[in-house]
Every structure is written in C-alpha cells, then in structure tokens.
Amino acid sequence: MTAGWVNFAQVKATVCLRRVLEDYGILEQLRRSGQDHYRGPCPIHQGEGRDAFHGDLGKNVFHCFACGAGGNVLDLVAHMERCSLREAALRLQRWYLAEDFAVPPRPEVPRRGQLVTKKRERNTALSFRLSGLDEAHPYVSARGLSRETAIRFGIGYYSGSGIMKGRLAIPIHDAQAQLVAYCGRSVTAQDSRYRFPAGFHKSAVLFNYHHAAALAGNGVVVVEGFFDSMRVHQAGFPAVVALMGATLSRDQENLLVQRFRRVRLMLDGDQTGRTASHAAAQRLAGQCSVCQIVVAPGRQPDQMSDDEIRQILAQTWK
Ligand SMILES: [Zn+2]
C-alpha cells in the first residue's frame, strides 16, 4: 500500500461530523435547533447569515444557505483546508484514524480506541503582520478599554484590504508567543461579530496565554471572550486567559495545568457559561486548585466595571 492510499467510504463512515466541527471550534459557535440539528454562522464563507450554516449531526451532513457549501465530512474539510476531496480524506485519515491505516481496514467495525488516536492540531506562525492598526479607534473606548490596554494586546482598527478590512483586528498568539492568527471583530451591529481565518484551530490556543504564562505567579483567571480578558487585565489582573468560547478544549486544559497551580474560572453568567464552568472545573479538579466565580445572571466580565471585577475576584484567593 502506498502512503497516498485512502478509503473514502471508511473515512466517511467512521469520522463523525460532530467531532470535526468540535475540533475546528465550529460547534461551539452553533446553537442547537432540534434533535441532532445545529445552526449558526458559516465557517466557510465567514460572512452574512447568522443562521446560514446548518448541520445535521445524526446524518453527518451540513449545508450553508448563504454560500451553498454542503455535503459530508470530506466536503467540510476540503472547504476548511482549501484542498481537494482526496486530500481532505487523506487528512481525516491521518487525524482521526489509526496511525497504521496504510494497511487495508479490517472488515469489522473499528473499535472506539482507533478513532481517537488523533494527531493534535497545531497552528502555524503567520508570515505577515497587519500594519497601521488604529488603537485609538472609538470602538476601543466604547468597549471600555484604555489606549494602554489596546497597545498591550496589540489590537486596533484595520482599514486596509482583505478579510480584516473595517474590523478590529485582535492578534492571537500560541504558547510560544508566535503570532498565529488575527480575529476580526465587527465594529458595527450588522456584520457577523467575529471572523476567524479558515483553518485556524481555536481549540489549540488560549488567548493571552503567552503574557499570562510569562508572569511570576502561579494563578490564572479564565474567561470566555477577548474583551472579558482585556477588561480583567485592565482591572489589575494581568494573569488572565480567554477560551474564545465557553468550552475548555483538551489542549487548553493541558496548557492551563502545565503552567498554573490555581485556576479561577470566571465564565459568563448565562446558562451556557454556568454549565461550561462546572464541566471545566470537574476536569481540572485533581490537576490544580480550581474555583468557580459566579458572575451575576445575564452578565459577563466585559460588562462589569473595574471595581466590580476587583471585588468579585477579591473574594477568592489571589
Ligand atoms: Zn457559507
């Protein structure tokens, strides 16, 4: 068998769409709209249509009503990685199926263990940097951020060309402090709120980890969003990281426990945040000290004043 041998039918039948959506960080952007049915913004065209993307995880298929993309798990990966279907199948085989898959599959149904020997996703360093980011744009102060905070996080309004045009660019670094992506935050209510580059693996990084890990202490505050973390930093707690969603991924969990001994979870005060906080606390317990900070119902850290953030964090260990 050659290295390029691929069994399309086997890949399609054994790699479930849910897992791939999860690993791309797409699933957490979707909301459930029925049994096995999810909808939300489309990760492929990354444009208009808050509910354009539909996934049926029971049938393992997806469809976007805005850009027309659709199909099975192979089609999704081909779109995300901008590669051929054959290359998509090869990648899925490499990521999710047994490493010695270059031998013909056995006729019996693959055992569960075989499906989880997935290679960890990594982000590669960007080969460019956006220049001319305006950290004094009114949107920055409208979100309660000072110019110093904006400079510290390297954010700014981008008026150049490309997919970040007209958005607030937020640089994202990996644990080695390499710049791996920009997230584009819409500064108007019309456009989709956040735009991540295709192929970026959100679940492989924690926002601001490179800064937090470089500090002397062994405690860290974990929040959901970019602005939550910038506001917590500004309130005097620079050891803060953001999940970029509510779910703590396996990679993120590892990053936390490798570096920190004490983790304070400060997720949003909605049901999603509460549920995610409990789940994360359970997984972290036993690996480090963990405490859950209860944010008032319906609120999130970036809507709190610096004083409120200091008060709520002062109630727990520093
Ligand atoms: Zn689409």
Q: Using one digit for the tens of pLDDT, what is the confidence trace for 188-231?
A: 877 778 888 878 899 999 999 999 999 998 999 999 999 999 99
Which residues, in sequence order, are bridge partners of residue 233? none
Q: In Å, how far from its chain's centre is CA 165? A: 21
Which comes out higher in pLDDT, residue 168 or 191? Answer: 168
Return the percentage of the chain with pLDDT > 90, whole number: 60
CA of 311 to the centre of ligand 1 (A): 43
Which comes out higher in pLDDT, residue 83 or 141? Answer: 141
pLDDT of 132 reads: 92
- Secondary structure of the chain in HEC code, one letter for each residue: CCCCCCCHHHHHHHCCHHHHHHHCCCHHHCEEEECCEEEECCCCCCCCCCCCEEEECCCCEEEECCCCCEECHHHHHHHHHCCCHHHHHHHHHHHHCCCCCCCCCCCCCCCHHHHCCCCCCCCCCCCCCCCCCECCCHHHHHCCCCHHHHHHHCCEEECCCCCCCCEEEEEEECCCCCEEEEEEEECCCCCCCEECCCCCCHHHCCECHHHHHHCCCCEEEEECCHHHHHHHHHCCCCCEEECCCCCCCHHHHHHHHHHCCEEEECCCCCHHHHHHHHHHHHHHECCEEEEECCCCCCCCHHHCCHHHHHHHHHCCCC
pLDDT of 99 reads: 44
What integer is the mean pLDDT of 251-274? Answer: 94
CA of 38 to the centre of ligand 1 (A): 14
CA of 37 to the centre of ligand 1 (A): 17
CA of 204 to the centre of ligand 1 (A): 23
pLDDT of 113 reads: 39
Q: Residue 3: which pLDDT band, with cuts at 50, 70 and 90? A: low
Residue 21 predicted with pLDDT over 60: yes
Q: Residue 16: which pLDDT band, with cuts at 50, 70 and 90? A: confident
CA of 49 to the centre of ligand 1 (A): 8
**Tokens (6 digits) for 22:** 């999860």
CA of 65 to the centre of ligand 1 (A): 7
CA of 192 to the centre of ligand 1 (A): 12
Q: Cα–Cα distances in Å, from 202 out to 207, 220, 302?
A: 9, 19, 20
> Tens of pLDDT along 89-147?
888 887 777 543 333 333 333 333 333 434 567 898 888 889 999 999 999 999 999 99
CA proximity to 129, closest of 175, 83, 182, 76:
182
Q: Residue 23: which pLDDT band, with cuts at 50, 70 and 90? A: confident
Q: In angstroms, rounded to a whole number, what is the distance separating the alpha carbons of residues 243 and 304?
A: 19
CA of 1 to the centre of ligand 1 (A): 37
CA of 10 to the centre of ligand 1 (A): 26
CA of 67 to the centre of ligand 1 (A): 4
CA proximity to 135, closest of 120, 119, 151:
151
CA of 128 to the centre of ligand 1 (A): 26
What integer is the mean pLDDT of 308-318? Answer: 82
